[in-house]
């Protein structure tokens, strides 16, 4: 129960008790007043009738006495009026029959009024003619008391209602700053370091708010400083200082994190774009103008690649590299011709009439070959061919594509049939805590078996799954079997989910319903999404994170730290943990920039209470280096190789 509600209930109860006391006191006072009025009325009536009888009668005359008594009795205020002779004989007796008044019976029990009796002597001169006895009837007094009680209760109820409204408005104004403090505290606990505005006028609350704002501001500043430092180090390590695009190291890191390992393989065109006479241009234009030309040229290439759904970088001094996912050879040739023409126009805009040759060589990969080095080597061979004709764009096929095309069994049908028959093998690799090697979770990887029971690796079936729209079916099958096989004795699981599946409303609805039906198991699951998928559609990733959290599971980001705005994702999505891209791990020992970036990333994530797990730990030297940086956990073949799960 909220503080405002508790205060409202307490104050309203006190006020209600006070009003009930006022009502009781008023009715008790009215009772006493009416009792005195009844006593006075009985006595006055007895005296008045006695005087009237004495003045009009010479002797005790019953008929005359009856005539005098009747008008007073017929008014109904008296229960009994009697006239007695001097000898005690009853000459006149009028009695009002019992009848209910206009008041409830409980009023008589709570506030009893007695029927007073008064007597008066009847005398004519010195002669005594008898006596009169009058007993007052309390009916009218009860009616008057009941009427007063109802009116008083009505006005008190109106006052009580108005007081409650005023109390609500007062408490709302007083407690509004406290509600803001509560929201800020919840936000801070959720790693969102907000400021409380406006500042409350209450001195005690104002001091609390000031302290919270100072603390939140300092933490936020520290996080921003670490994030800026990490972004600067990331830019130094992965960005070309002249053009601002990805350098060879940054391009390789992004390519590896997106397309290699268990990720969706690269299927498309990888191209090298060469400005043939860079040295002559540099000599003719000077370094400043030549750098400006290169910035415009490489950024234009980067924008063209992004528009086609890919990315680009500076491979070497005069050569740019472009990856176009999902592009067939014919389409790739057309896009690269357009890029070549755009580069020529840009050179002419800079006043370059000579030294304007642009060569383009490319390789098409169907997914069978995903290693960047192999694809780049084939693209370099195509570039050598393109140098013989400046107007040509040479696109060659990957050598392994021809081998795959000659396979006896249709691989697409083999993968479809394996998914339909649920011939799925779950493989798990453990992630451990860095400090004491305690098991954190098991990451689930998928393998398929063909009709003969032979295992198909991800490198074999993932290109087919991605190219033929089977990603969602694969994700559903993995999740279903993981839930079916998960037992209380098993460690927590992490399951990779593709960005394509996470962005499908049908898949999201199915997953939320499936997890809600098994919340105990859901609490032991974390769904990992690759950083490039999150960056590509952050809104879909955020919706997916909200859905799985609402169902009791967790959300994490895999292959983290490759994209330029990756650090901003931490504050917006607040993942349960992040896994640093394996491309960083391989360079941690030899590259000071990669090491400094990792240190800043770990510090920034620690401020947000987000653990950072290193991947691809293959040897003890790398493990020791990462432990010194401050990683929370690690995963790799050093301590555990992927094995069938459950074990």
User: Hey, what are 371's tokens?
Assistant: 């290693």
Boundaries of domain holding 107 = 3-161
Answer for the pair 217, 197: CB distance below 8 angstroms, yes or no.
no
CB atoms under 10 Å from CB of 263, counted, come to: 21
Cα dihedral 474, 476, 480, 482 sign: positive
The tens digit of pLDDT for each residue in 32-87 reads 999 999 899 889 988 998 888 888 877 777 888 888 888 888 888 888 999 898 88
Whether residue 419 sits in one domain with residue 392: no
The tens digit of pLDDT for each residue in 119-178 reads 998 888 778 888 999 998 888 888 888 998 899 999 999 998 998 898 888 877 777 777
Answer for the pair 354, 287: CB distance below 8 angstroms, yes or no.
no
pLDDT-derived band at 205 (thresholds 50, 70, 90) equals confident
Cα gap 306→319, rounded to integer Å: 18
pLDDT-derived band at 190 (thresholds 50, 70, 90) equals low
Cα gap 646→304, rounded to integer Å: 46
pLDDT of residue 32: 92
Closest C-alpha among 618, 613, 647, 616 to residue 631: 613
pLDDT-derived band at 188 (thresholds 50, 70, 90) equals low
Residue 101: pLDDT above 80?
no
DSSP state of 201: S
Residue 437: pLDDT above 80?
yes
pLDDT of residue 407: 47
DSSP 3-state assignment of 559?
A: strand
User: Hey, what are 198's tokens?
Assistant: 């406006």
pLDDT of residue 405: 42
Whether residue 415 sits in one domain with residue 401: no
CATH code, 539: 3.20.20.450
Cα gap 443→421, rounded to integer Å: 23
Asked whether residue 470 is domain-assigned, the answer is yes
Residue 611: pLDDT above 60?
yes
Mean of pLDDT values over 297-306: 85
pLDDT-derived band at 203 (thresholds 50, 70, 90) equals confident
CATH code, 325: 3.30.70.270
CA distance to 168, 176, 178, 464, per residue, from 4 (Å): 9, 10, 10, 60
Q: How many helices (H) and strands (E) does the chain have?
A: 23, 19
Asked whether residue 68 is domain-assigned, the answer is yes
**CA geometry: angle 367, 238, 326, nearest 5 deg:** 25
pLDDT of residue 129: 85
pLDDT-derived band at 588 (thresholds 50, 70, 90) equals confident
pLDDT of residue 469: 81
Asked whether residue 595 is domain-assigned, the answer is yes
Asked whether residue 454 is domain-assigned, the answer is yes
Answer for the pair 446, 351: CB distance below 8 angstroms, yes or no.
no
pLDDT of residue 1: 66
Whether residue 383 sits in one domain with residue 457: no
Asked whether residue 329 is domain-assigned, the answer is yes
The tens digit of pLDDT for each residue in 392-407 reads 666 666 644 444 444 4
DSSP state of 552: T
Asked whether residue 598 is domain-assigned, the answer is yes
Asked whether residue 178 is domain-assigned, the answer is no
Average pLDDT, whole number, for the chain?
Answer: 83
Residue 409: pLDDT above 80?
no
Q: Which residue in the block uniquely carries the two structure tokens 């005398």?
A: 123
pLDDT of residue 264: 67
Residue 605: pLDDT above 80?
yes
Cα gap 571→576, rounded to integer Å: 12
pLDDT of residue 549: 94
Whether residue 558 sits in one domain with residue 531: yes
pLDDT of residue 371: 78
pLDDT of residue 258: 76
Cα gap 342→163, rounded to integer Å: 77
Cα gap 499→533, rounded to integer Å: 5
**Which of 350, 382, 405 corresponds to the end of one domain?**
405
Cα gap 41→79, rounded to integer Å: 12
Whether residue 423 sits in one domain with residue 399: no
pLDDT of residue 603: 84
Residue 536: pLDDT above 80?
yes
Residue 319: pLDDT above 50?
yes
Q: How far apart are the first and last CA of the chain?
A: 47
pLDDT of residue 372: 83
Least confident window among 107-121, 282-296, 528-542, 633-647: 282-296
Whether residue 423 sits in one domain with residue 557: yes
Asked whether residue 285 is domain-assigned, the answer is yes
Q: Which residues contact 505 (CB under 8 A, 6 or more apart)?
A: none
Mean of pLDDT values over 235-264: 79
Question: DSSP of 148-198, one letter per residue?
Answer: HHHHHHHHHHHHHHHHHHHHHHHHHHHHHHHHHHHHHHHHHHTT------S
Whether residue 397 sits in one domain with residue 473: no
Cα gap 359→380, rounded to integer Å: 11
Q: For the chain, what percent of residues have pLDDT higher than 90? A: 22
**Which of 161, 188, 218 corresponds to the end of one domain?**
161
**Which of 356, 375, 405 corresponds to the end of one domain?**
405
CA distance to 60, 89, 502, 510, per residue, from 64 (Å): 9, 16, 109, 103
Least confident window among 120-134, 281-295, 493-507: 281-295
Say what the pTM is. 0.65
Whether residue 430 sits in one domain with residue 326: no
For the chain, the C-alpha Rg in angstroms (whole number) is 48
Least confident window among 147-151, 256-260, 357-361, 581-585: 256-260
pLDDT-derived band at 377 (thresholds 50, 70, 90) equals confident
pLDDT of residue 404: 44
Please tell me the total count of domains within the chain. 3
Cα gap 604→617, rounded to integer Å: 22
Whether residue 594 sits in one domain with residue 471: yes
Cα gap 167→239, rounded to integer Å: 62
pLDDT of residue 428: 93
Whether residue 374 sits in one domain with residue 304: yes
Q: In what helix (H) or strand (E) does residue 7 lie, and over which residues does it extend? A: helix 3-56
pLDDT of residue 551: 93
For β-strands 439-449 and 455-456, DSSP reports them as antiparallel
CA distance to 462, 478, 491, 643, per residue, from 429 (Å): 19, 15, 11, 7
Answer for the pair 415, 465: CB distance below 8 angstroms, yes or no.
yes
For β-strands 525-530 and 578-580, DSSP reports them as unpaired
Mean of pLDDT values over 339-367: 78
Answer for the pair 194, 187: CB distance below 8 angstroms, yes or no.
yes
Whether residue 63 sits in one domain with residue 107: yes
Whether residue 471 sits in one domain with residue 358: no
In angstroms, how far is CA 205 from the centroid of its own chain? 27
Cα dihedral 459, 460, 463, 465 sign: negative
pLDDT of residue 57: 79
Cα gap 125→121, rounded to integer Å: 12
Residue 520: pLDDT above 80?
yes
């Amino acid at each position: 129960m909220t503080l405002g509600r508790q205060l409202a209930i307490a104050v309203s109860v006190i006020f209600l008790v006070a009003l009930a006391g006022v009502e009781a006191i008023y009715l008790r006072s009215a009772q006493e007043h009416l009792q005195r009025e009844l006593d006075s009325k009985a006595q006055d009536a007895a005296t008045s009738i006695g005087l009237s009888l004495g003045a009009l009668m010479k002797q005790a005359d019953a008929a005359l006495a009856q005539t005098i008594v009747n008008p007073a009795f017929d008014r109904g205020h008296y229960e009994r009026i009697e006239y007695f002779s001097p000898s005690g004989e009853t000459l006149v007796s009028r009695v009002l029959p019992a009848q209910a008044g206009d008041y409830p019976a409980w009023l008589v029990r709570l506030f009893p009024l007695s029927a007073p009796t008064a007597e008066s002597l009847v005398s004519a001169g010195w002669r005594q003619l008898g006596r009169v006895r009058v007993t007052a009837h309390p009916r009218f007094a009860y009616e008057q008391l009941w009427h007063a009680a109802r009116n008083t209760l009505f006005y008190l109820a109106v006052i009580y209602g108005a007081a409650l409204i005023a109390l609500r408005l007062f408490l709302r104004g007083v407690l509004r700053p406290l509600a803001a403090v509560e929201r800020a505290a919840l936000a801070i606990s959720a790693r969102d370091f907000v400021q409380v505005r406006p500042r409350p006028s209450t001195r005690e609350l104002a001091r609390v708010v000031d302290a919270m704002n100072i603390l939140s501001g300092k933490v936020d500043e520290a996080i921003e400083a670490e994030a800026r430092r990490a972004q600067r180090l990331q830019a130094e390590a992965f960005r070309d200082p002249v053009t601002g695009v990805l350098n060879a190291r940054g391009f390789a890191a992004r390519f590896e994190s997106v397309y290699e390992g268990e990720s969706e393989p690269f299927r498309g065109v990888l191209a090298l774009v060469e400005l043939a006479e860079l040295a002559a241009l540099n000599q003719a234009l000077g370094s400043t103008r030549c750098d400006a030309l290169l910035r415009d040229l490489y950024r234009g290439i980067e924008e063209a690649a992004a528009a086609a759904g890919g990315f680009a970088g500076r491979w070497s001094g005069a050569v740019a590299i472009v990856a176009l996912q999902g592009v067939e050879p014919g389409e790739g040739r057309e896009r690269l011709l357009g890029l070549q023409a755009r580069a020529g126009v840009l050179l002419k805009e800079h006043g370059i009439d000579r030294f304007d040759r642009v060569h383009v060589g490319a390789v098409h990969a169907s997914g069978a070959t995903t290693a960047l080095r192999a694809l780049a080597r084939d693209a370099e061979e195509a570039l050598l061919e393109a140098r013989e004709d400046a107007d040509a764009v040479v696109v060659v096929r990957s050598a392994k594509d021809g081998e795959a095309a000659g396979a006896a069994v249709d691989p697409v049908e083999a993968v479809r049939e394996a998914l339909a028959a649920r011939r799925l093998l779950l493989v798990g690799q453990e992630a451990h805590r860095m400090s004491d090697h305690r098991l954190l979770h098991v990451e689930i990887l998928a393998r398929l078996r063909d009709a003969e029971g032979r295992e198909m690796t991800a490198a074999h079936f993932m290109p087919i799954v991605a190219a033929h729209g089977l990603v969602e079916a694969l994700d559903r099958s993995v999740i279903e079997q993981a839930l079916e096989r998960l037992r209380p004795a098993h460690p927590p699981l992490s399951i990779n989910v593709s960005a394509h599946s996470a962005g499908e409303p049908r898949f999201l609805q199915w997953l939320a319903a499936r997890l809600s039906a098994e919340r105990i198991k859901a609490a032991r699951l974390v769904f990992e999404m690759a950083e490039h998928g999150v960056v590509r559609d952050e809104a879909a990733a955020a919706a997916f994170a909200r859905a799985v959290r609402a169902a009791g599971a967790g959300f994490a980001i895999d292959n983290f730290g490759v994209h330029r705005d990756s650090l901003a994702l931490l504050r917006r999505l607040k993942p349960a943990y992040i896994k640093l891209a394996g491309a960083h791990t391989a360079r941690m020992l030899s590259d000071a920039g990669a090491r400094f970036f990792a240190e800043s990333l770990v510090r920034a994530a620690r401020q947000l209470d987000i653990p950072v797990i290193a991947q691809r730990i293959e040897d003890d030297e790398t493990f020791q280096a990462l432990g010194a940086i401050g990683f929370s956990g690690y995963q790799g073949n050093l301590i555990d190789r992927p094995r069938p799960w459950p074990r």
